[in-house]
Chain A
Amino acid sequence: MSQWLDVCEVDDIAPDTAVCALVNGKQVAIFRPLATDTLFAVDNFDPVGKANVLSRGIISDIQGQLTVASPLYKQHFCLASGQCLEDEALKIPTYPIKTEGRRVYVSAH
């Protein structure tokens, strides 16, 4: 079952931005949208630009879907599902994430 890793404080992530955490050797981008109280965790690797940069993208609301716009070539990836809005065949991994008090926990294998 999932192994939660204590990653950081919620307040280590400036509202409306993301950070990158190292979880079990994986780079996980953790988003803190202003729109919700929920955090999201997706893979940090941008499969189009082929670089570990998604945590540096802008959080974008595209017709009600919260996404991150890749800082390299601006494709949108859904924060909840990892689906790329521009390319149906493209989906990035998402990871379980939770908060306990002010601490943030992520699980990734």
Chain B
Amino acid sequence: MSNKQKLIVIGNGMVGHKFLESLVDLNQADQYDIQVLCEEPRPAYDRVYLSSYFSGKTAEDLSLVSDGFFEQNKIDLSLNCKAASIDRANKTVSTESGEIISYDKLVLATGSYPFVPPVPGHERKNCLVYRTIEDLEAITESAKHSKVGVVVGGGLLGLEAAKALKDLGLETHVVEFAPRLMAVQVDDAGGQLLKNKIQSLGVKVHTSKNTLNITDGEHAVHKMEFADGEHLETDVILFSAGIRPHDSLARTSDIEVGPRGGIVINEHCLTNDKDIYAIGECALWGGMIYGLVAPGYHMAKVAAQHLSNSGTDTFEGADMSTKLKLMGVDVASIGDCHARTEGALSYAYSDEVNQVYKKIVVSEDKKTLLGAVMVGEAEDYGNLLQLALNKIALPEKPEALILPALDGAAKLALGPDALPETAQICSCYDVSKGAICSTVQDGAQTIGDIKAFTKAATGCGGCTALVTQVMNSELSKLGVEVNTDICEHFAYTRQDLYNLIRIENIRTFSDLLEKHGKGHGCEICKPAVGSILATCWNDYVLDNKHIGLQDTNDIYLGNMQKDGTYSVVPRVPGGEITPEGLIVIGEIARDFNLYTKITGGQRIDLFGAQLHELPIIWRRLVDAGFETGHAYGKSLRTVKSCVGSTWCRYGVDDSVGLAIELENRYKGLRSPHKIKFAVSGCTRECAEAQSKDVGVIATENGWNLYVCGNGGMKPRHTDLLAQDLDKATLIQYIDRFLMFYVKTADRLQRTSVWMDNLEGGLDYLKSVVLDDSLGMCEELETQMSHIVGTYQCEWKTTIEDPEKLKRFNHFINANEKDNNIVFVKERGQIRPANEKERSVQFSDAGNAHLHQTNKTEPTLNTDQIIASDVLQR
């Protein structure tokens, strides 16, 4: 046995785990033999993001435990192990299974549980709560056999639960006891607006409803009877009527608890027993239970420091301000939003047309901001919160903070410069302005970098706008120009240019430059505009109007290799190819002596073609029925497939058939970056669809649509956008998704990075694509159908135009080849010679070691390619 002190932590929830991490970060974990008792069957996971379980996140995705955390730090973790009682006199904890464990120090991190009002009938089947992964599994299960769902409780969590029920396809109701929704955070007017908005999204809201009884329904499983004599029938009931602290261990061992529950703690998070701490939602500080994770995290740090004598941080209450998007509606609440402070004054602004409500509460002298409520639009949340937290002096007319900017007048905004270095910008991860600035000084340049290095903005996301402002301000101080202009020729972003081109019906680069740009264009704006023009109007890219815009690969419709030769990639939709097709490709590769390789995209790449050979090769491919594979374009690359139900014993649907259909539909679409798809025939996922920009997986009930995955430099798994779709709906959603991406992404931004930078993230994307919240879906679909309807194989068009073919001679005035291109043989095929091999070749042409291959010119039948005279000239 070691002689270390024994530390027991009861509960491995979000806060209990943060406590362990804090001890490890302080290098103090090895002071103790640590044992963690965890009632749940799995270690800590992210409850804040619990709802994303419904959109495809798994228990592993939600896990908060880094790989090997418990093993490396020698922390003993007991799962499914509930503490039953504490014996303070003997300093032991006994578990439900009868084990008795001694402790020197004890930390209670038992969290809270959902309060279920004692309405008769509340224990009936399908009466559930919303707190753990097991709860979610039960909800999913019962939703399968249900049509209607009711959430009891219209607070923050209740509305989140309602969204989950709606997403599960149920007719959804919210029943609230108070006269308004989110009674804690918003006022009457804000609550009313919120109610209207949520009703308009298809959730029925019943306020001032007191449930008296739940009995058998006539058309549904249950009937809920209300005090006002009305009733409501439903199949599922979710209780979300507040939380209660898990304090029974304290009660039964005489640790002090508050009159309405909660384990009383001091500023070091110590209970009235000097060896026992309490942290998180089970703890009561200053008469308050903090039902948010940020204050809990702070308690965890404080307790870890105090316990290990390695810091003096104290817990002195926390700010409960919140900003969130509930079913796509922005809601924010700051500080004293009900104007309860003595002498407090308030200003309100209500706009029924745009459904926006804002209120600020200021001190009697109008100098400081005490609180605020925002519904419908909460862009100013970050600014207002900082004004309130840092007690920054308000402008003379505080109402300007919530009034919309009138013509010309710049909106009053608090610059990030006004904030002290210590200002907490992200409360979820306790990231200060100073921390963001120093990350920028260390080289971070994008919001993605900041997220990766500080975790700021990766929790609730409420601080994203402010984090961005702080970052930009610091970047400009460092002389890094925060310039979103695409280049020196256009003072616009790619998105602006896209809109200008569409709205003003601009057809050429010269027109755009004349109207909106300056100078003559460069290798940044030209390809970007070329791509936008192609997305909007879908002209032939080598048309004389557009040819000067095409980048390295597009300008010769092939990928340039290091030696100036090209690769040839015919399209093989879905990866399905006939033996005849394979033979044709093989023959061409042999005749032109091309290096041949199967690509990672389920097709065949032929390397080492010289400029003048490209048209002849493509003539043969086109004649054999092949089309261009756009391997060179910022456009659809491949739609990979698995073999699917046709052959595979597990397949549930025809993944190959769908992959081919999708590839043929979207081929040729020019986009901000390349786009890759995959379709799998069942959840075994042999096509790796969850790493693609668009992934589709067959299920028993239809197709699941995943978006915004990436392999490559920074892999990202997809998010589930929609489930169980029939094919028509699937295609409709993909049309909308792709056109929305194409419309709003930055230049060279893959869908993954686009998603990571999209304010509102997946929920926002869903609202746009599934619920048409921007009212633009019809337009997006029309635009896509234009692209689909005007597709042409660029290689076919090119080989049929003698003028275009002239460009494929290496020399405009001679029929010779580029003598700088030298191949050697390796493993039976050609490859470009390296420096050393070249120097040998040029100094001693006859060197015997070097198998310089002479590519034999294939004999050409003149009508194999029109204008072959041009090439042979």
Contact = CB atoms under 8 A, between A and B. Distances in A.
A101 to B, nearest CB: 17
13 contacts: A8-B812, A16-B549, A22-B813, A33-B520, A35-B520, A52-B820, A56-B552, A56-B556, A58-B526, A60-B522, A62-B522, A63-B488, A71-B552
Contacts of B519: 61, 64
A5 B814 CA distance: 12
Interface stretch (B173-181, B466-474, B803-811): B803-811
Contact of A53 (B520, B544, B560, B813): B560
Contacts of B818: 27, 52
Interface size range of chain B in the complex: 20 to 34
B258 interface: no
A93 to B, nearest CB: 15
Contacts of B560: 53, 56, 71-72
Interface size range of chain A in the complex: 35 or more
Contacts of A81: none
Contact of A20 (B489, B521, B806, B812): B812
Interface string A65-101: 0100101101000000000000000000000000000
Interface of A is mostly: strand
Interface of B is mostly: loop
A69 B564 contact: no
Contacts of A52: 564, 810, 818, 820
A59 B527 CA distance: 11
B523 interface: yes
A39 interface: no
A27 B560 CA distance: 18
A74 B810 CA distance: 20
Contact of A22 (B527, B547, B564, B816): B816
Given A5-B813, A52-B564, A72-B562, 17 more contacts: A7-B813, A8-B813, A17-B548, A17-B555, A19-B807, A19-B812, A21-B811, A22-B814, A27-B811, A33-B520, A49-B564, A58-B549, A59-B548, A60-B523, A61-B521, A62-B488, A69-B522
A5 to B, nearest CB: 8
Interface of A: 5, 7-8, 12-17, 19-22, 27, 30, 33-35, 45, 49, 51-53, 56-64, 66, 69, 71-72, 74
B551 interface: yes
Contacts of B521: 59-61
Nearest to A71: B552
In the A-B complex, the 10 residue pairs with the smallest Cβ-Cβ separation, listed nearest first, are A16-B548, A71-B552, A69-B523, A61-B520, A51-B564, A60-B522, A35-B520, A19-B812, A22-B814, A58-B523
A6 B510 CA distance: 30
Contact of B548 (A8, A15, A49): A15
Contacts of A17: 547-548, 555, 807
B584 to A, nearest CB: 28
B135 interface: no
B563 interface: yes
Given A14-B547, A17-B547, A61 B522 contact: yes
Nearest to B551: A58
A12 B806 contact: yes
B865 to A, nearest CB: 19
A59 B555 CA distance: 13
Contacts of B820: 45, 51-52
Nearest to B489: A61
Nearest to B510: A34
Contacts of B520: 33-35, 59, 61, 66
Contacts of B564: 49, 51-53
Interface in B782-813: 806-807, 810-813
Nearest to A62: B522
Interface string B537-566: 000000010011111100110001011100
Contacts of A59: 520-521, 548
Contacts of A35: 520
A37 B527 CA distance: 23
A62 B818 CA distance: 30
B563 A51 contact: yes
A69 B552 CA distance: 10
Interface string B816-827: 101010000000
A32 to B, nearest CB: 9
Nearest to A63: B488
A72 B552 contact: yes
A7 B812 contact: yes
A53 B551 CA distance: 13
A34 B548 CA distance: 9
Contacts of B544: 14-15
Contacts of B488: 62-63
Nearest to B555: A56
A62 B487 CA distance: 10
B522 A20 contact: no
